Amino acid sequence: MEQFLQVVFTGLSQGGIYALIALGFSLVMMATRILNLAHGSCVLFGGFLFLTFAETWGWHAALAAPAVLVAIALLGFATERLLNFRVRPWQPVSLDTAVLTTLALLVLFEGVAFLAWGPDPRRAPAIHPGVFTLFGAVVMWQAVWMLAAALAIALGLHFFFRYSWSGRAMRACAENPATACLLGINARRIGAAAFMLSAAVGALAGLLVSPVTWIDYQMGGFFMLKGVLAYLIGGEEEVAGPLAGGLLLGLLENLLLLFPGMTGGLLKQVVPMAALIAILVFRPQGIFAARR
Amino acid sequence: MTEQSGWALLLRRNLAFFVVLVALPPLSYLLLKTPWFYTDTLVTTAIFFILVMGLDLLYGLAGQLSLGHQGFFAIGAYGVAILFKHFGWSPWLGALCALALNMVLALGFGRIVLRLTGLYFMLGTLALGIMVHAIITVWSPVTGGDAGLGGVPRPAFFGIALSSQTAFTVLVWIVAAVLFWFALNLSRSRVGRALRAIRSDEVSAAANGIDVMRLKANVFALSAAYASIAGSLFAVYFGALHPESFSLSALLEMLLMLFLGGEGSIWGGLIGTFVLRLLPEVSGPLHGYKILFSGLVFTLILFLFPKGLAALFRRKKPAPLLQTEAGALPAAAPDASGGLRVNDAVRSFGGLRALDGVSFELASGRIKSLIGPNGAGKTTLLNAISGVHPLESGRVEFAGRPVERLRSDEIARLGLRRTFQNIRLFSELNVVENVMVGCDKGSEGSLMEFVRAALPTPGALSRERRLEHEARRWLHAVRLDAAADQPVSALAYGHRKLVELLRAASAGPALLLLDEAAAGLNNAEKQDFKRLIRDLREAGTTVLLVEHDMDFVMDISDEVIVVNFGRKIADGSPEAVRGNPQVLEAYLGV
């Protein structure tokens, strides 16, 4: 029982991170119909920059964390500028070009991370060290923060989309960018804002997760995959989908690890991918989304 | 134009290949003198070239971007290593088994994921690649896991010892050259043309009789086969395997090679591979910058040379002479009867009944116009007859058999062709190739067709020549021969409309559906269209056309059918329809 609870807690906190990454994909996808595969690098850079600010330069976490979010948001802005560099507003960037360019950026950022932070796995300081016991299971405070951040951001985004002008404009762009343009919404500015917001949310995931899992320069691709997986499992609901998808993916992976020895490891890797293929074929709108 | 014999064509087209074949022995002698260092680069260049060719067949021709080819590469490599390690099978036998496994996997998996389009196809293949990588990393008793799998020997190849670097280099390059020859033939053949048509527009390709799903599945399997062969050679050359070589970074490296060289050209991959394999050797001390450099090059290539380095070498076609005199229309009598019978056709979109029980008949050899106000269901009816969007209920009988359950490419191969309201030409093909797709009368895309295309016989080549000749005669008949080698985007609107009509007519269809036949044309062009349609009817083609210009309709039609709100309100001779009170009400509201 305790082992089971332990797995559920770990799964939920990891799921929180996946959900945060997936929310980032969802934001950009919604506003611009681009699947930003370089998003994994924002997560990675979030972790590394926090390490530099908080540990190497010795800043206080309360100063370092916002600084990281702002810096990565600027990186997101740069990504958007680059993607739409040659594009006219009435003619969005083609699907192939967007996928390939963001993949190329993923490699480029991997190279930057290698040069800046070296080849070895590293970890940023935890923003809330220590553990506590809950129903006999040991829980890290950092893990609580991971889950709480996911829930808080999801809730915030929900209100943002429902009640703020920019949020509604973003949803309008998702529905029909051309009409949104005609109604006086600056689709490009909305797109850039979505990229920045998405990058900042990704950076938050990175700075929260790196003390627990350690990160190295190659992990951008890993974060990207987990985020895409969670996003597709949840489906194209703007907030509820990625949140549910992330938590479900975290739980599923950790529950599969309950199988003894190698089987668990194998299942953990293979089942989510097989699930992704099944979802793409049978329910491309995601398992939670209502059929359109 | 003189008819050349197929043999001469075969020789001429493959001249470069035969030159290389002759030059190979002296080259391999030179290789003996080169340091080990460079032969290593040469071998890996060839291996990756094979891999990239596979990707190029899939993306450059058919436009399907696979993000999972490192998986097929891994199966090719690990297949050899595992079968040797655990069963003691010879690596060559192992390579064959891995090849078979890969092709079966690709055909089966392809059936599933190729139904997805665009982004979802990429993500499906991405999942496959990651899954294979996960399995070889984790399943350590069989694959060696993170520690890798070693000890694959390099056995003799049909009695030729390969223990020396040189012998192996020569072998790998011979394999690469043969595969290159296959790929190049394929890309220049009718199969290559059909694949490019699919890349341009799948709906329009199917409407021209191309079995889109089957061609895509087969080219996916072929491309997996290339990856498999590359993987097996990789395993035999290095003798030891590590999961690292088949990770996401491996995929990125292949994509970079493909796009650096230039997609769609087959040989562009050679440039890309060579540059990227040679660079690490010459840039020794800068090794730390390798990843950064690849990322930078990849990004820059996509921005500055989206068509890759190969585009720098592309020859400019000479400007053609202007032609003023029109030739005769090479229309031939169709094989089948073009009779059409539609019974109680129903189709709705949400709550709207676009077709609400329409029935009509069209006798073979006649011209019928389908008219009605906007939103009356005219295009829906054409889409239903041609199988683009099937009916919910009702029957469509064409050429004496029910066709309402057939796919649009199957109906097209029975002898039906159509044009689209918003012109749908193949942007990846030039004008004459667009018409050649029509002359070719569709493609079933069987594996046999692929084999025939990869190994062209003199007969196949002269057939291809005949097709081109025929397509040019069609263009000559409408005075478009000067534009034959232009991209279709260079044509004016009226000319594009004309090319689409030729593409449909040159297949010699029994029944021709024209959606908005003359919309947007000026008066002279309308007269041309009228003449063309009449000539086609003279040759035996039945025509059903949608048109808004009443003068055009009344002038050309043998009979007219009027629909409104998904129902037929009149059907008969133009004079009878003109006087029908219901028609007057629908059009004038009186």
Please give the interface size between A and B, counted as residue pairs whose CB atoms are below 8 Å apart.
117
B576 Cβ neighbours under 8 A, 6+ residues apart: B570
Nearest to B128 by CA among B64, B86, B72, B44: B72
Instruction: For chain B, count helices (H), then strands (E).
Output: 24, 10
- Residues of B within 8 A of A228 (CB-CB) are 123, 126
Note whether A270 contacts B134, CB cutoff 8 Å. Answer: yes
In DSSP notation, B452-479 reads HHHS--HHHHHHHHHHHHHHHHHHHHTT
Q: Which of B298, B300, B305, B427 to mutate to test the interface with A (most CBs of A within 10 A)?
A: B298
Give residue for tokens 């290095």: B238
Beta carbons of A197 and A156 less than 8 angstroms apart: no
Note whether B288 contacts A101, CB cutoff 8 Å. Answer: no
Task: Give the whole-angstrom CA distance, residue A247 versus residue B466.
Answer: 62
Task: Give the whole-angstrom CA distance, residue A148 versus residue A145.
Answer: 5
Task: Give the whole-angstrom CA distance, residue B49 versus residue B87.
Answer: 30
Q: Which of A223, A249, A277 to mutate to test the interface with B (most CBs of B within 10 A)?
A: A277
pLDDT at B589: 66
Of A99, A105, A277, the CB nearest to B299: A105
Note whether A269 contacts B290, CB cutoff 8 Å. Answer: no
pLDDT at A288: 66
**B291 lies within 8 A of chain A by CB:** yes
pLDDT in tens, B211-261: 999 999 999 999 999 999 999 999 999 989 999 899 888 898 899 899 988
Note whether A99 contacts B119, CB cutoff 8 Å. Answer: yes
- Dihedral of CA atoms A21, A24, A25, A29 in degrees, nearest 10, equals 170
Of A103, A109, A218, the CB nearest to B255: A103
Of B119, B293, B306, the CB nearest to A35: B119
Give how far B299 is from chain A: nearest CA, Å: 5
Sheet with B367-371, strands from edge to edge, namely B416-418, B511-514, B542-546, B367-371, B559-564, B567-572
Query: What are the structure tokens assigned to B136, written together?
Result: 């070889």
Query: What are the structure tokens assigned to B348, written together?
Result: 């709705």
HSE (side-chain half, CA atoms, 13 Å) at A200: 16
Q: Which of B138, B247, B304 to mutate to test the interface with A (most CBs of A within 10 A)?
A: B138
State yes or no: pLDDT of A133 exceeds 70: yes
Query: What are the structure tokens assigned to B123, written together?
Result: 């993500």
| Global pTM value | 0.90
Note whether A114 contacts B291, CB cutoff 8 Å. Answer: yes
Instruction: For chain A, count helices (H), then strands (E).
Output: 11, 2
First to last CA, chain A: 40
Note whether A114 contacts B288, CB cutoff 8 Å. Answer: yes
**A273 lies within 8 A of chain B by CB:** yes
Q: Which of A100, A217, A259 to mutate to test the interface with B (most CBs of B within 10 A)?
A: A100
Beta strands at B340-349 and B393-398: parallel, antiparallel or unpaired: antiparallel
Least confident among A220-229, A247-256, A271-280, B2-11: B2-11
Q: Which helix (H) or strand (E) holds B562?
A: strand B559-564
DSSP, res B405: T
Hey, what amino acid is at A172?
A
Nearest residue of chain B to residue A108 (CA atoms): B295
Task: Give the whole-angstrom CA distance, residue B343 versus residue B267.
Answer: 53
Judged by phi (left if over 0) then psi (alpha if -120 to 50, else beta), residue B275 lies in alpha
Note whether B139 contacts A109, CB cutoff 8 Å. Answer: no
Nearest to B536 by CA among B505, B560, B503, B558: B505
Surface-to-core class of residue B485, CB atoms within 10 Å of its CB (0-12 exposed, 13-18 middle, 19+ buried): middle
Q: Which of B70, B302, B307, B428 to mutate to test the interface with A (most CBs of A within 10 A)?
A: B302
- Residues of B within 8 A of A107 (CB-CB) are 249, 252, 256, 291, 294-295, 298
Note whether A218 contacts B298, CB cutoff 8 Å. Answer: no
CB atoms within 10 A of CB A69: 21
pLDDT at B496: 92
Nearest to A266 by CA among B441, B7, B142: B142
Of B122, B248, B302, the CB nearest to A104: B302
Beta carbons of A85 and B306 less than 8 angstroms apart: no
B348 Cβ neighbours under 8 A, 6+ residues apart: B354, B355, B392
Task: Give the whole-angstrom CA distance, residue B11 versus residue B14.
Answer: 5
Instruction: Write out chain B's pLDDT in tens, 590 residues.
Output: 444 566 776 776 676 667 766 766 666 666 666 665 677 888 889 999 999 999 999 999 999 999 999 999 999 999 999 999 899 888 899 999 999 999 999 999 998 888 887 888 998 999 999 899 989 988 888 888 888 888 888 877 777 777 777 788 888 999 999 999 999 999 999 999 999 999 999 999 999 999 999 999 999 999 999 999 999 999 999 989 999 899 888 898 899 899 988 888 888 888 888 888 877 666 655 666 777 888 888 888 887 777 777 777 766 665 555 556 777 778 777 877 888 999 999 998 888 888 988 999 999 989 999 998 888 889 999 999 999 998 989 999 998 889 989 999 999 999 999 999 989 999 999 999 999 999 998 888 888 889 988 888 888 888 999 999 999 999 988 888 888 888 998 888 989 999 999 999 999 999 999 998 888 888 888 888 898 999 999 888 999 999 988 889 999 999 999 998 889 988 999 888 888 888 888 876 65
Query: What are the structure tokens assigned to A220, written together?
Result: 């951008």
HSE (side-chain half, CA atoms, 13 Å) at B308: 23
**A271 lies within 8 A of chain B by CB:** no
Surface-to-core class of residue B22, CB atoms within 10 Å of its CB (0-12 exposed, 13-18 middle, 19+ buried): exposed
The values of phi and psi at residue B337, to 5°, are: -85, 140
Nearest residue of chain B to residue A277 (CA atoms): B124
Surface-to-core class of residue A217, CB atoms within 10 Å of its CB (0-12 exposed, 13-18 middle, 19+ buried): buried
Mean pLDDT score of chain A, rounded to an integer?
87
Nearest to A280 by CA among B59, B121, B109: B121
**B150 lies within 8 A of chain A by CB:** no
Residue positions counted in chain A: 292
Q: Which helix (H) or strand (E) holds A139?
A: strand A137-140
- Residues of B within 8 A of A225 (CB-CB) are 126, 130, 248
- Residues of A within 8 A of B105 (CB-CB) are none
**A278 lies within 8 A of chain B by CB:** no
Q: For B314-326, b where at least 16 C-beta lie within 10 A, e where not — what string?
A: eeeeeeeeeeeee
pLDDT in tens, A7-59: 899 999 999 999 999 999 999 988 888 899 999 999 999 999 999 999 889 88
Nearest to B288 by CA among A65, A92, A112: A112
Note whether B302 contacts A100, CB cutoff 8 Å. Answer: yes
Note whether A103 contacts B298, CB cutoff 8 Å. Answer: yes
- Residues of B within 8 A of A277 (CB-CB) are 112-113, 124, 127-128
CB atoms within 10 A of CB B328: 9
In DSSP notation, A228-267 reads HHHHHHH-S-SSHHHHHHHHHHHHHHHHHTTS-HHHHHHH
Query: What are the structure tokens assigned to B53, written together?
Result: 């060719």
Task: Give the whole-angstrom CA distance, residue A158 versus residue B379.
Answer: 42
**B122 lies within 8 A of chain A by CB:** yes
Hey, what amino acid is at B101?
L
Hey, what amino acid is at B326?
A
pLDDT at A124: 83
Query: What are the structure tokens assigned to B110, written together?
Result: 């392809």
**B131 lies within 8 A of chain A by CB:** yes
Which 219-238 residues of chain A touch chain B by CB within 8 A? 221, 225, 228, 232
Surface-to-core class of residue A87, CB atoms within 10 Å of its CB (0-12 exposed, 13-18 middle, 19+ buried): middle
CATH superfamily of B337-415+509-590: P-loop containing nucleotide triphosphate hydrolases (3.40.50.300)
A223 Cβ neighbours under 8 A, 6+ residues apart: A21, A39, A40, A43, A44, A202, A205, A206
**B286 lies within 8 A of chain A by CB:** no
Give how far B149 is from chain A: nearest CA, Å: 17
Task: Give the whole-angstrom CA distance, residue A49 versus residue A112.
Answer: 12
**B288 lies within 8 A of chain A by CB:** yes
Query: What are the structure tokens assigned to B562, written together?
Result: 């009027």
Which 178-217 residues of chain A touch chain B by CB within 8 A? none
Beta strands at B401-402 and B352-362: parallel, antiparallel or unpaired: unpaired
What's the gap between Cα B202 and its chain centre? 9
Note whether B65 contacts A228, CB cutoff 8 Å. Answer: no
- Residues of A within 8 A of B138 (CB-CB) are 262, 265-266, 269
The values of phi and psi at residue A123, to 5°, are: -140, 145
Note whether B131 contacts A115, CB cutoff 8 Å. Answer: no
The values of phi and psi at residue B342, to 5°, are: -110, 130
Domain boundaries, chain B: 42-261+289-309, 337-415+509-590
Query: What are the structure tokens assigned to A282, written together?
Result: 């049978």
Q: Who has greater pLDDT, A262 or B343?
A: B343
- Residues of B within 8 A of A269 (CB-CB) are 131, 134-135, 137-138
Nearest residue of chain A to residue B119 (CA atoms): A95
Note whether A107 contacts B295, CB cutoff 8 Å. Answer: yes
DSSP, res B287: G
Beta carbons of B297 and A111 less than 8 angstroms apart: no
Of B119, B140, B252, the CB nearest to A103: B252
Note whether B249 contacts A232, CB cutoff 8 Å. Answer: no
Note whether A266 contacts B139, CB cutoff 8 Å. Answer: yes
Beta strands at B559-564 and B542-546: parallel, antiparallel or unpaired: unpaired
Give how far A233 is from chain B: nearest CA, Å: 12
Distance set, CA A152 to CA A146, A170, A244 (Å): 10, 20, 14
- State the pLDDT confidence band at A88, using cuts at 50, 70 and 90: low
Which 91-120 residues of chain A touch chain B by CB within 8 A? 95-97, 99-101, 103-112, 114-115
The values of phi and psi at residue B567, to 5°, are: -120, 150
pLDDT in tens, A143-168: 999 999 999 999 999 999 888 888 88
B202 Cβ neighbours under 8 A, 6+ residues apart: B212
Beta carbons of B509 and B438 less than 8 angstroms apart: no
